[in-house]
Structures are given as structure tokens and as C-alpha cells.
Amino acid sequence: MTDSYVLEVVKVVDETADARSISFRVPEGAESAFEYKPGQFLTLAVPSDRDGLAARCYSLSSSPHDGGPLTVTVKRTVDGYASNWVCDHLEVGSTMRVLPPSGIFTPASLDADLLLFAGGSGVTPIMSITRTALAHGSGRIVVFYANRDERSVIFAEELTRLAAEHPDRLQVVHWLESVQGLPTGEQLKAFASAYTTWDAFVCGPAPFMKLVVTALRELEFPRERRHQEKFVSLGGNPFGDVAEVAAAAQEVAEAESEDGAEGAAPVDVPDGPQEPVRLEVELDGETHAFDDWQPGTTLLEHLESKGVKAPYSCREGECSACAVRLLEGEVKMLHNDVLDDEDLADGIRLGCQSVPVTDTVRATYS
């Protein structure tokens, strides 16, 4: 299991009346664990009187290539315990227990032309992608940014500055509900129709994402050029077992580190194979092959047992950080709160929940 770390807060910025950017210092010796790609997220252990901790995923708004600190941007949500706790309690000198960056909402190439849709705080990973692509890529970027009103626009000044500095590469289109009403599917489709050869990324509230994705589908954006951020409030505890939950709460207060827990035991899957399975997985340009994937053991657990650092975050089937695409064979997911029917039809599965049902399985994380 990937270790968690205790990070110190080094900067807090009020972006709007209800959104704050929190910057962390990475501990000495842990730099490699916190290398990240634009669009990824951190999982924070927010202390909770009821459960010991609430694990929450927050997207990184910083760029991995500008030398700046690791930064997440968090917007308060109504009745959102974790987001309000982060905004109310974290200040310079505070500490948080954090899992290393994860997520697959990242461009395959920074040189590609990018069509980026953001709704509200969904601009956070979009900002990371924009900052990074402008500094280290060569493609054109169009950002469609929807908000309730002008006061709700996170990163307003920086987006204006970046567009002025890169007039030939960056265009930012603001859509304000207070002025234009909610965007319709036809309006989004008309807007996106000028960019059908670009790579599209969508992040924001679920209704906004559904509307945008539907428009992109109708414009026949191929799946490989259509990306949607998917994670929900985690119900499980990716930081360890019950005893470690209490330790996590204490660490937040005292900045003391604890070791991670062992993975879950294999489960019984009656309709699966009875003998070890052949597995081939492509990850970061390498192919890993094994002949001993045990029935009832998840793909993530098997790869971890072989020393392969496969991506994951929640381990509960509630985010898409561990998503793989099947190339051959089939698996059964024990739990899935994030993939929809189109994802499943495209062969996408959650590695942390997938156990084999065929004698051979080939998959890729790319």
C-alpha cells in the first residue's frame, strides 16, 4: 500500500469568498513520491469526530514544472464537512496527512490543442493543465468557464493575465449564469463545434459535466479525445485500518507519521477461474506479465504484491485513479460508484475492484 505523508501548509490564498488555495511543503526525501502530472489530485485525511477522518480528493491547481509548491484549491460546499473544515482550519504551519498525487485526468501531450470546460471549482485541474501547457507545450488552448456570477470566478485575474500574455495560444470564455442563464446543450454543442479535432477535458458539477459530455458525443468527439474528471466523496478510508484512523487524526494535530495498513484479503468470486490467471499490464511504457494472478485477488493488490507501483487513491471503487482499459479477457468489479455504461462498454475497469473471470487478461493504464 502506498505510504501517506504529513505535509506542512506553507501558504494560504483566498481566491474568492468561498474558495482557498492551500500550498504544502513536501517533506525532504519524499520529492519523488509527489511528482505529478497536470490535472491530478491529492487525497487529504480531514479529521472527523464521527469517523476519525474523512478522506477527500482535491485537485491540484499548481503546475508540476514551475518550481512552485504543491497546491490544491478547495471551494466550500453547502453542508460539505471536509471542504468547510479545510477552509476554516488550515493556515500556514498546519499539517495534513496526504496520499501522493493520483488521477488520470491528464493530457497525453502538452503540445496538443486543448478544449477545456470548467464549471465552478472544476477549474482547479483545468488551471493546472492550462498553466503547464502554456509553459511547456506548443498547442492552442480554449477554456470555457461557467460560474454563477462574477464574484464566483476562481483565478479570474490569472486567467486574464495568461490570456494577455499568450494571445495566440489561450482564449478564455466566461459564462455567467447571472448574465446568460445556464448554458444549454445546444449552446455548448455550437461552441464546441469549432474544435472537433481538439482534445476535450471536462470538470465541474455533475449536471454540467453531463451536459458538456453529451454535446461532445453528439459532435462525435472520439472517446480517446474526450476526458471527464470522475471522483466522489470517499466513503472508505484509504489511509489504513480502524486503528490508524485514530492515529491519522492525531497526526493532523501533532504531525506524527504512521505506517500504512496491509491490503485487503482475497475475496471469493464463485464465477471466476479456479486456477491462477495470466496477466499482462501496460503501465508507463512498460509491459508487466505474470502467470500467477490468483482468483479473488484484485488487480491492484496483485500488482502491488509484485512491486509494481500501479496508480490508485481510494481503493473503494469511488474514484477513477486506478482505471485501466481492457485489451483482452474480462474482469469482475466488486464495487463501482464512478464508471458509467459508456465507460464499461469502452472496456474501462477499476483496478482496485477488479478480479479475473477469464484465464487471460490484458489491460493498459494508458
CA dihedral 312, 315, 320, 324 (to 10 degrees): 70
Show the low-confidence residues of the chain (pLDDT under 70). Answer: 1-2, 50-51, 231-272
pTM reported for the whole predicted model:
0.78
Sheet strands side by side (includes 199-203)? 170-176, 141-147, 114-119, 199-203, 226-228
Q: Within a domain: residue 142?
A: yes
Q: What's the rounded Cα separation, in Å, for the pair 187 and 182?
A: 10
Q: Are residues 334 and 360 in the same domain?
A: yes
Q: Within a domain: residue 109?
A: no
Q: Are residues 180 and 223 in the same domain?
A: yes
Among 228, 263, 286, residue at a domain's last position: 228
Task: State the residue range of the domain holding 67.
Answer: 5-102+236-254
Q: Are residues 79 and 160 in the same domain?
A: no
CATH number of 307's domain: 3.10.20.30
Q: Within a domain: residue 139?
A: yes
Q: Within a domain: residue 272?
A: no
323-365: pLDDT as tens digits:
899 999 999 999 888 888 878 888 899 999 999 999 999 999 8
Q: How many domains is the chain partitioned into structurally?
A: 3
148-175: pLDDT as tens digits:
999 999 999 999 999 999 999 999 999 9
Q: Are residues 131 and 222 in the same domain?
A: yes
Other CB atoms closer than 10 Å to residue 271's CB: what's the count? Answer: 6
CA 218 to chain centre: 25
Q: Within a domain: residue 300?
A: yes
Q: Within a domain: residue 259?
A: no
Q: Are residues 85 and 118 in the same domain?
A: no
pLDDT of residue 191: 98
Q: Are residues 245 and 97 in the same domain?
A: yes
Q: Within a domain: residue 203?
A: yes
Q: Are residues 180 and 125 in the same domain?
A: yes
Q: Within a domain: residue 321?
A: yes
Q: Are residues 23 and 83 in the same domain?
A: yes
Q: Are residues 217 and 124 in the same domain?
A: yes
CATH number of 36's domain: 2.40.30.10
Provide the b/e sequence for 168-180 (b: ≥16 CB within 10 Å). ebbebebbbeeee
